[in-house]
Structure 1
Amino acid sequence: MAASHVSISFLILTLTLISITAVSAKISAVIVFGDSSVDSGNNNVISTLLKSNFKPYGRDFFGGKPTGRFSNGRIPPDFISEAYGLRPFVPAYLDSTYNISDFATGVCFASAGTGYDNATSDVLSVIPLWKEIEYYKEYQQKLRVHLGDRKANQIISDALYLISIGTNDFLENYYLLPKRRSEYDEDQYQDFLVGIAHEFVKTLYKLGARKISVGGLPPMGCLPLERTTAVLRGEGDGCIESYNKVAMSFNSKLGGLVSNLKKELSGVQMVFSNPYFIVMQMVKKPSIYGFETVSVACCSTGLFEMSYLCDELNPFTCSDANKFIFWDSFHPTDKTNRIITDHLLKRVLNKIS
C-alpha cells in the first residue's frame, strides 16, 4: 500500500509539473523571432543543411508530422499560444500550407542556426535576424490588406512577441570560428550582442509591438553536444562550466537591457524570460521531473547527432522521449519544452496583461 501511494503521489506530481497554465491576458496573436529553439519550420524552404523536416523529428507532434521543429513534438511558442487560448501551434511564415488568415493569430519568423550577429547566420546559410524583420514587415502589409488597417493594428498591438536567440552566437560562431574572438573578448562580445538586441527591440516597438518577451540562454555548457566535445578534449563528461558562466553573464546583461527598455519605451510591457535555472534544475535533479537521462539525447547515440545525423535510418533512437531532457544533442524534448514554458508562464509571462 505504501509503495502504491508513493507511485500515485509521484504521478500526480509529474502531471502537475508538466501541465500548461492557462493565461487570461488579452493576447491577439503570438509572433515569434529567433533561432531553432522557436523555429517551427522556416528552414524547410531555404538552402541550408540545418533542417529537421524528416522523421524521427516530430514523431510526437500532431499526426506524428515532422514539421521542421527541432523536437520530437512541440516547442515553447506552441505551448504559449495554446495557453493564451489560441491555436495549439504557431505556423512558420514560409510554410506554403498556411496563409495570412492562419497567421492572424500567430506566426513564426525564426530560423534555426541564426543569431543576433549576422556572422552567425552565415555559418550555416540561414535567415539572419534582419531578414526576419523584413518578413515581419511583409506580414504586416498582408495583414492590413486581409483585415483592414484598424483590425490589423489591433492584432499587432495586442500580440505577444517572443524573442529567443543567442546560443548560436556563442556555440556556432564565437567559440568555433576565429574572427569574432580576434575582435572581442567574451565580455565585449556579449555587449556587442546586447547592443543588437537593443536595436532589434526598438525596431519592433516602432513597428507597433507593445508586449514583448526577450528570452535568455539555457545552460549551454550542459547540452549533450558540448559535453561530448569536452570528453573528446579530455575534460571530463560534466557540463562545461565556463560556457554556463557566459550564459549567466549574458542573461544578466539581457535582464538589464529589458529593465532599461521598459523605461525608454512608453507603453511597452516587456519581460525577460530566463530558461537557465529551470533547465539547470532539470539537469541537476532529473528524477523530480520524471527524467532518467541527462547527458545524452534521445536521438541516435545522443552524443552529437542533430539535423540530418538524427534521421529515421538510425536504429538507436530511444523509444520514450519523455525520459530524456534532450531530443537531439542540441534541443530539448517536447516534455522539457512543456516544463520550461509552464515555468515561464507562471513566473514571467503572467506579468503581461
Structure 2
Amino acid sequence: MEQRRSVHHHIISSRFLYSSSILWCSFVLVLLFTTTTNALVKLPKNATFPAIIVFGDSIVDAGNNDDMITEARCDYPPYGIDFNGGVPTGRFSNGKVPTDILAEVLGIKPSIPAYRNPKLKPEELLTGVTFASGGAGYVDLTTKIAGGIPLSQQLKYFEEYLEKLKKMVGEERTKFIIQKSLFVIICGSNDIANDFFIVPTIRLQYDVNSFTALMANNARSFAQALYGYGARRILMFGAPPIGCVPSQRTVAGGPKRECVDRFNDASKLFNTKLSANLDDLSRTLQDTTLIYVDIYNPLLDIILKPQQYGFKESHLGCCGTGLIEVTALCNSYTAKVCPIRSDYVFWDSFHPTETAYRIIVAKLLDRYLSRFI
C-alpha cells in the first residue's frame, strides 16, 4: 500500500501539471447548418445551424495536439476505444466528445473534426471544425505549462479558416455561415487546476479573487473577438466542479478522496464573474445571443447522484486504477480498462465518458439552444 502511494505521488509530481482541460474548460464552439449554394456539400433541409465551431481545451479537442511534443495528447489506445471502430483520434475520451454529440443530435454530421488534422477534407470546413487544444486555458501560462495551443493561436487558425471559406463559397456566404453557426467555448478548468493551485509563483501575484477575475476578463475579450468576426450565436461554458474530478480527489481530497472545496469554490467564483462579464458585454453590444452556460451544477448532480443517471461509479475513472491515470498514464500497456464504460461517469481521471457527455448535452440542449432558434 505504501509503495502504491509513493507511485501516485511520483505520478502527481511528474505528470500532473498537464492536468487536462478537465471536464470542460473547456467544451466546444459550434457551427451548425443551413443550405449552401456550394456544390461541395449538401446540407440537411431541416438544419437549424450551418455548422459547429469549437474553441477551448481537451473536452472538445479532436486531435489538434496530435503532432505536437506535449503530454496533452492522446492519439493512442485505449483512447477512442468506442469511437468509430476503436481508432484513437486524439479525443480525450473513450468515444465521442460533446461537440461530436451535438453535431450528431442536430443532424449536421457524425463528428466534428480537428482543424489541424492533415486529412481534413475541404468540405468539412462548411459544417464545422474544432480549434480546441488539450491543456489550453484563459491565462497564457496555463497553456504553456501543458504545451497546448493557446486561445490566441486558436483565433489565428480561425482567421485562416475564414479565408479558406471565402475561397470556397465567397465572402457573402462566409458571412452568412458565421452569423448563423453556433460557437461553443469551453475553457477555464486548467487555469484553476493546473496553474493557480499548482504554480507557487502565480499565488504570489494573485489571490483566488484576482486570478479568477483575470480568467473572466480574458474570456470576455475572447468572446468579444468572436463577435467582431461576425459570430452571433455564442455559448461560453463556465468551469465544472473541478474539486470533484477523480484526479483532484486523489491529489487533494484527503484519505477519503472527498471533493476539494477550495477547487470548487474557485470554479464557482470564476463562473460568477464570467456570467456577469457576459451579461455586461451583451448589454454593451445590445445583443442577447452571447450566452453563459452553467455546466457546474448539471455535472455535480451526476457526480453526487450517479445511480439516478444509470452510473455505478463517479469517484474513479474507467482507465487503470481510476485515481490519477490520464494521457500517457492511460495506455494499453500499463492500464486496464473497465469492461463497461457506461457504468462510469469518468473515462480517465479528468475527462467524462461518452455516456456522461450524452446526458450532459441532453440537459443543455433545450435550455440554451432554443434561444437561438
Q: Same fold (TM over 0.5)?
A: yes
Shift, 1:25, TM fit: 7.0
What does 1:177-216 correspond to in 2, within 5 Å? Answer: 177-216=199-238
Please tell me whether the aligned partners of residues 219 and 280 of structure 1 are also in contact (alpha carbons under 8 angstroms): yes
The one-letter code sitting in structure 1 at the alignment partner of 2:313 is T
1:86 maps to which of 105, 108, 113:
108
Aligned identity (percent) is 37
Give the match for residue 186 of structure 2: 164
Give the match for residue 70 of structure 2: 48
Shift, 1:99, TM fit: 2.9
Give the match for residue 319 of structure 2: 299
Q: Deviations over 1:99-149 (max 9, x none)?
A: 331121011000000100011111021101100000000000011011111
Determine helix, strand or coil for the equivalent of 1:32.
strand
C-alpha separation in 1, matches of 2:265 and 2:335: 36
Structure-2 change in CA distance of 1:268 and 1:142 (3 Å): farther
Kindly indicate whether residue 58 of structure 2 is the aligned counterpart of residue 36 of structure 1.
yes
C-alpha separation in 2, matches of 1:260 and 1:336: 32
Give the match for residue 17 of structure 1: none
C-alpha separation in 1, matches of 2:288 and 2:310: 38
Please tell me whether the aligned partners of residues 31 and 160 of structure 1 are also in contact (alpha carbons under 8 angstroms): yes
Q: Deviations over 1:187-208 (max 9, x none)?
A: 1001111111111111111111
* Paired residue total: 329
Please tell me whether the aligned partners of residues 61 and 73 of structure 1 are also in contact (alpha carbons under 8 angstroms): yes
Determine helix, strand or coil for the equivalent of 1:72.
coil
**Structure 2 length normalisation: TM-score?**
0.85
Kindly indicate whether residue 313 of structure 2 is the aligned counterpart of residue 274 of structure 1.
no
Q: Deviations over 1:258-284 (max 9, x none)?
A: 211221224451211111111111111
Please tell me whether the aligned partners of residues 294 and 326 of structure 1 are also in contact (alpha carbons under 8 angstroms): yes
What does 1:246-265 correspond to in 2, within 5 Å? Answer: 246-265=266-285
C-alpha separation in 2, matches of 1:268 and 1:161: 14
Kindly indicate whether residue 160 of structure 2 is the aligned counterpart of residue 138 of structure 1.
yes
Structure-2 change in CA distance of 1:33 and 1:315 (3 Å): closer
Q: Deviations over 1:252-311 (max 9, x none)?
A: 111112211221224451211111111111111110111111111000111000001101
1:75 maps to which of 88, 91, 97:
97
Please tell me whether the aligned partners of residues 273 and 349 of structure 1 are also in contact (alpha carbons under 8 angstroms): no
C-alpha separation in 2, matches of 1:78 and 1:349: 16
Runs of 4+ in structure 1 off by over 6 angstroms are none
Structure-2 change in CA distance of 1:268 and 1:25 (3 Å): farther
What residue ranges of structure 1 are gaps of 5+ in the alignment?
1-22
The one-letter code sitting in structure 2 at the alignment partner of 1:43 is N
**Structure 1 length normalisation: TM-score?**
0.90
Please tell me whether the aligned partners of residues 83 and 94 of structure 2 are also in contact (alpha carbons under 8 angstroms): yes
Structure-2 change in CA distance of 1:315 and 1:226 (3 Å): closer
Please tell me whether the aligned partners of residues 53 and 67 of structure 1 are also in contact (alpha carbons under 8 angstroms): yes
Please tell me whether the aligned partners of residues 326 and 350 of structure 2 are also in contact (alpha carbons under 8 angstroms): yes
Q: Provide the alpha-carbon RMSD of the alignment.
A: 1.5
What does 1:331-342 correspond to in 2, within 5 Å? Answer: 331-342=351-362
1:230 maps to which of 252, 261, 265:
252
C-alpha separation in 2, matches of 1:265 and 1:60: 43
Give the match for residue 334 of structure 2: 314
Please tell me whether the aligned partners of residues 192 and 267 of structure 2 are also in contact (alpha carbons under 8 angstroms): no
C-alpha separation in 1, matches of 2:87 and 2:325: 20
The one-letter code sitting in structure 2 at the alignment partner of 1:185 is D
What residue ranges of structure 2 are gaps of 5+ in the alignment?
1-32, 34-45
Please tell me whether the aligned partners of residues 77 and 332 of structure 2 are also in contact (alpha carbons under 8 angstroms): yes
Determine helix, strand or coil for the equivalent of 1:64.
coil
Determine helix, strand or coil for the equivalent of 1:171.
helix
Determine helix, strand or coil for the equivalent of 1:296.
strand
Give the match for residue 242 of structure 2: 220
C-alpha separation in 2, matches of 1:283 and 1:26: 32
Give the match for residue 10 of structure 1: none
Give the match for residue 14 of structure 1: none
C-alpha separation in 1, matches of 2:187 and 2:131: 12
Determine helix, strand or coil for the equivalent of 1:325.
strand
1:126 maps to which of 145, 148, 157:
148
Determine helix, strand or coil for the equivalent of 1:302.
coil
The one-letter code sitting in structure 2 at the alignment partner of 1:348 is Y
